[in-house]
Structure 1
Amino acid sequence: MDEDPDIICIQETKATGDKLNDALKDFDDYHGYFASSTKTPGFSGVAIYSKTEPVKVIDNLGYGKYKEEGRILKAEYPDFTLMNIYFPSAGDKLNEKMQFFNHFLDKTEKLMESDENVIICGDFNIAHTTNDLANPKDASRNPGFLQQERGLLDILIAQGYYDTFRMFNQESGNYTWWPNGYDSRAKNIGMRLDHFFISENLKDRLKSSLIRSEIMGSDHCPISIEIDI
């Protein structure tokens, strides 16, 4: 590994823990934690690799039928709580995506009320504003940029959470996902679907929030934050 992050969060792993070899379960100085789909093998899944062992790790958080899909890991540390989530894409199931997200918003509201230090990251499958995608007019009729979906991020921000990237950069053209084909990535025709949000009590500790578009290997690129906790 060329870099040395304290915590690595991965979404859409598409693998159960028992299918991973030892090198992927725990490598170098990292502890590995996994949530996998018990409903459809090879579907969804998230992972956290952490140098510091969390006090507790909870998977799925009782999200109704999504509990079987391996979309959520919550890691509790002495000084903060981390949520790593792979949100559903809408497709033809917008109502299910809204239900999942509303359940998530219930939990984020309770965390904010408890005054916990909270970091939320993941593939939200939502671009928030017109600055977050290349073709907003066309995309406004499609999943990922529907007004109902964008309003969910409005609610999260209204609860007191900060979109970390927008704390440093308000420019358009910064995307985390590009469609396959049509040379979309080279032309930078994409969407910012992956986000880090932090609770208000952490905003003064945030040092950076980056989109690592130079790193290849997926239709998404990594994003990162540096924060003092």
Structure 2
Amino acid sequence: MIVATYNVNGVNGRLEVLLKWLEEAQPDVAILQELKAPDARFPVGDIERAGYGAVWHGQKSWNGVPILARGQTPLLTRKGLPGEPEDEQSRYIEAIVDGIVIGCLYLPNGNPYPGPKFGYKLRWFQRLHDYAAGLLELEVPVILAGDYNVMPTELDVYKPDRWKNDALFRIEVRDAYRKLVAQGWTDAIRELHPHETIYTFWDYFPNAFARNAGLRLDHILVSPYLAERLVEAEVDKHVRGWDHTSDHAPVRIELAEKPVKRRKR
């Protein structure tokens, strides 16, 4: 089973890129972020013609998160995180695909720091932390994937000294990510590539992609049951080089049908 996450940075404006990637990569589950479209403008017809069923949680101009499944429609279980009823931002959606709980998230950027947007980011992270702990208690296979808007370590950011006071790299945000993973989640990329410099985002600044001046913002966390089945975790970096593409690249994992043995690191 192949599960991928991809911040498309505007689903209608970059629909051609999305469909090209779906055809090439053929993920069984595609978790997307930044639709930048209300529910009514989600291109469900094009998605279905590409062979995917979908559930989505849109928002005009900003945010928006869908889950796509090849050859079936995901079973929707939740829109939005609990803990802040007045929060209207479309940043979380959850569904079941082939017995796996799939959580798609788009964590707030939080800039500028300090400020109310940074406070909202930390509150949202705490809500995710509380909810994720409950998912683990269910002892079912779970994936929490998306654009976390955090570089967990210095290995995940080009020239880290320049980012110390950015909301994507503030110590409070990195601590929140570490505490989340410490609940029992496995960061798929770091599990299989513990020491490699791997990025998932390159800004549109001139030559940022060519110089590999990037950030690792997009993460796939898997519950213990799925960690035993993890056989591959990669970034489709070449997609970032396509015309009119997103500033993010897709991240994908492959899960075996049965637990696999890996050499302990």
Paired position in structure 2 for 1:107: 131
Q: RMSD over aligned Cα, in angstroms?
A: 1.7
- The 3 A distance-change label for structure 1 pair 43 and 19 is same
Query: Is the CA contact 1:134–1:173 (under 8 Å) kept in the aligned structure 2?
Result: no
Matched, 1:219 2:241: no
Structure 1 residues 91-147: Cα deviation after superposition (integer angstroms, max 9, x where no partner): 031110000010011011111122121101100000001100111122112111110
Match of 1:136 among 157, 160, 166: 160
Separation of aligned partners in 2, 1:3 and 1:78: 19
Q: Compare 199-208 and 120-129 and name the one that shifted more.
A: 199-208
TM-score (norm. length: structure 1)? 0.92
- What number of residue pairs does the alignment pair up? 226
Q: Compare 58-67 and 105-114 and name the one that shifted more.
A: 58-67
Matched, 1:168 2:187: no
Letter in structure 1 aligned against 2:208:
S
Query: Is the CA contact 1:36–1:69 (under 8 Å) kept in the aligned structure 2?
Result: no
Bigger relative CO (Cα 8 Å, ≥ 6 apart): 2
Match of 1:36 among 58, 63, 83: 58
Letter in structure 1 aligned against 2:210:
A
In structure 1, the gaps of 5 or more residues are: none
Superposed displacement of residue 181, structure 1: 1.1
Paired position in structure 2 for 1:47: 66
Q: Compare 186-195 and 46-55 and name the one that shifted more.
A: 46-55
Separation of aligned partners in 2, 1:198 and 1:66: 29
- The 3 A distance-change label for structure 1 pair 16 and 8 is same
What is the correspondence of 1:56-205 to structure 2 with a 5 Å cutoff? 56-62=76-82, 64=84, 67-77=87-97, 79-92=99-112, 93-205=117-229
Separation of aligned partners in 2, 1:181 and 1:81: 37
- SS of match in other structure, 1:187: coil
Letter in structure 1 aligned against 2:40:
D
- The 3 A distance-change label for structure 1 pair 208 and 167 is same
Separation of aligned partners in 2, 1:66 and 1:164: 33
Query: Is the CA contact 1:75–1:82 (under 8 Å) kept in the aligned structure 2?
Result: yes
Paired position in structure 1 for 2:36: 14
User: Runs ≥4 in structure 1, deviation > 6 angstroms?
Assistant: none
Separation of aligned partners in 1, 2:102 and 2:163: 31
Separation of aligned partners in 1, 2:124 and 2:256: 31
TM-score (norm. length: structure 2)? 0.80
Separation of aligned partners in 2, 1:35 and 1:132: 29
Paired position in structure 1 for 2:12: none
Letter in structure 1 aligned against 2:62:
F
Superposed displacement of residue 63, structure 1: 5.1
Separation of aligned partners in 2, 1:67 and 1:27: 33
- SS of match in other structure, 1:185: coil
Separation of aligned partners in 1, 2:228 and 2:43: 40
- SS of match in other structure, 1:94: helix
Letter in structure 1 aligned against 2:247:
D
- The 3 A distance-change label for structure 1 pair 84 and 131 is same
Letter in structure 2 aligned against 1:219:
D
Separation of aligned partners in 2, 1:170 and 1:21: 37
Structure 1 residues 53-98: Cα deviation after superposition (integer angstroms, max 9, x where no partner): 3333321134525742111110124522110001100103111000
